[in-house]
C-alpha cells in the first residue's frame, strides 16, 4: 500500500487540505511521518519553483502520484464549462500547463472542480459537450499523462457526481489516458455501494482519495476501509491511496492518524 497526502503549494481557501503553503518544510514532515508520496494541489504551475521542488522530492525520495488543479477554479474561477469562451480557453491552457508539470514529475492530473458547475444559462448538454472537448484537447497534448476525472458530491458541483456518470463520460471520450479518481468522502454521499462502484471502475481507476465519512482522517468516521482496500487489490489497483482530509484536530495529528490507521489495513 502506497500512501500519499495532499499538500497545497500555495495558500488556498479550500478546506480539505491537511497541509497548505510552506511546502519546503511540509515535504520534509510528510516524509518523516512515513508517507511514500505527496499529492500536490497547484493553482498555477508558473508560480512554482519547479527545479527546487524536484530536487527536494528526489532528496526525500517522495513520489508525486497526482497534481490537483481545483484551485484554478476555487481561487480564479477558471473552468471547462464557464459560459464565457475566454474563461474556458484560459482553463484549458492552465490545465495544459499542469500537464507539462505532471509529465516532468511523473504524475497524473486530477480533473476536479476545474470542470466547473452548470451555471445559469448553460444547459446540461452544452456543459457536457464543452467538458468533453476540453478533456479531449487536454488529453491529446501529452498521451503519457493520465487525466483522472473525480466524481464530486452534489453539493460541490452538478457535473459528474457519481461513478456511473464518470464512467459514462470516460466511455464517450474513448482515450486511453482519461479515467477516474475516486474519493471515499464523495462516494459515501453518492454511491449506493462504495465497493461495487470501485469494482466497476476497473482499469479506468487512475487515482484514489481516502478520507473518512466526515472528511476527517480515516478512522475518525464510519467508513469501513477494510473492504475498500480489498476491492482495490482485487481490481489490480497499484496506485496511491492519497489522503485529502480536513486538518482536524490539527494537520500533523490528522496526517499521523491517517498513516497509522491505513498501515493496519496493509495487505
**Cβ of 226: how many Cβ atoms within 10 Å?**
11
Between the alpha carbon of residue 265 and those of residues 2, 32, 118, 224, 262, the distances in Å are 12, 20, 39, 11, 5
* Residue count, binding to a second copy (CB under 8 A): 15
Pick the closer one to a second copy by CB: 222 or 238.
Answer: 222
**Cβ of 262: how many Cβ atoms within 10 Å?**
19
CB contact at 8 A, 208 and 237: yes
**ω into residue 229 within 30 of 0, thus cis?**
no
- Binding residue for a second copy (CB under 8 A) from 141, 142, 200, 213? 213
Question: Is there binding between residue 74 and a second copy (CB under 8 A)?
Answer: no
x/- letters, 150..169, toward a second copy (CB under 8 A)? -----xx-------------
User: Scanning residues 224 to 253, which ones bind a second copy (CB under 8 A)?
Assistant: none
Residue 221 Cβ, how far from a second copy at the closest point, in Å?
A: 5
Q: Which of 60-68, 92-100, 138-146, 211-219 is the region at the interface with a second copy (rule: CB under 8 A)?
A: 211-219
- Binding residue for a second copy (CB under 8 A) from 86, 121, 176, 222? 222
Question: Is there binding between residue 220 and a second copy (CB under 8 A)?
Answer: yes
Cell of 14: 479550500
C-alpha neighbours within 13 Å on the C-beta side of residue 171: 9
Pick the closer one to a second copy by CB: 80 or 217.
Answer: 217
Q: What are the residue numbers of the active site?
A: 150, 244
Amino acid at each position: 500500500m502506497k500512501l500519499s497526502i495532499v499538500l497545497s503549494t500555495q495558500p488556498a481557501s479550500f478546506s480539505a487540505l491537511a497541509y497548505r503553503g510552506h511546502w519546503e518544510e511540509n515535504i520534509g514532515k510528510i516524509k518523516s511521518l512515513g508517507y511514500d508520496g505527496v499529492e500536490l494541489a497547484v493553482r498555477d504551475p508558473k508560480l512554482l519553483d519547479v527545479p527546487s521542488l524536484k530536487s527536494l522530492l528526489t532528496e526525500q525520495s517522495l513520489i508525486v502520484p497526482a497534481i490537483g488543479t481545483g484551485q484554478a477554479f476555487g481561487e480564479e474561477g477558471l473552468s471547462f464549462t464557464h459560459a464565457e469562451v475566454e474563461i474556458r480557453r484560459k482553463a484549458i491552457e492552465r490545465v495544459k500547463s499542469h500537464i507539462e508539470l505532471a509529465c516532468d514529475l511523473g504524475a497524473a492530473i486530477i480533473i476536479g472542480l476545474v470542470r466547473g458547475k452548470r451555471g445559469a444559462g448553460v444547459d446540461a448538454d452544452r456543459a457536457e459537450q464543452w467538458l468533453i472537448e476540453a478533456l479531449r484537447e487536454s488529453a491529446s497534448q501529452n498521451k503519457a499523462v493520465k487525466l483522472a476525472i473525480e466524481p464530486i458530491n452534489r453539493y460541490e458541483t452538478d457535473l459528474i457526481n457519481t461513478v456511473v456518470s464518470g464512467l459514462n463520460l470516460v466511455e464517450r471520450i474513448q482515450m486511453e489516458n482519461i479515467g477516474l479518481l475516486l474519493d471515499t468522502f464523495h462516494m459515501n454521499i453518492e454511491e449506493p455501494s462504495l465497493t461495487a462502484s470501485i469494482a466497476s471502475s476497473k482499469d479506468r481507476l487512475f487515482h484514489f482519495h481516502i478520507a473518512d465519512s466526515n472528511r476527517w482522517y480515516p478512522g475518525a468516521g464510519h467508513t469501513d476501509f477494510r473492504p475498500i482496500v480489498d476491492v482495490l487489490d482485487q481490481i489490480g489497483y497499484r496506485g496511491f491511496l492519497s489522503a485529502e482530509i480536513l486538518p482536524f484536530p490539527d494537520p500533523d495529528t490528522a496526517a499521523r492518524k491517517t498513516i497509522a490507521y491505513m498501515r493496519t489495513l496493509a495487505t
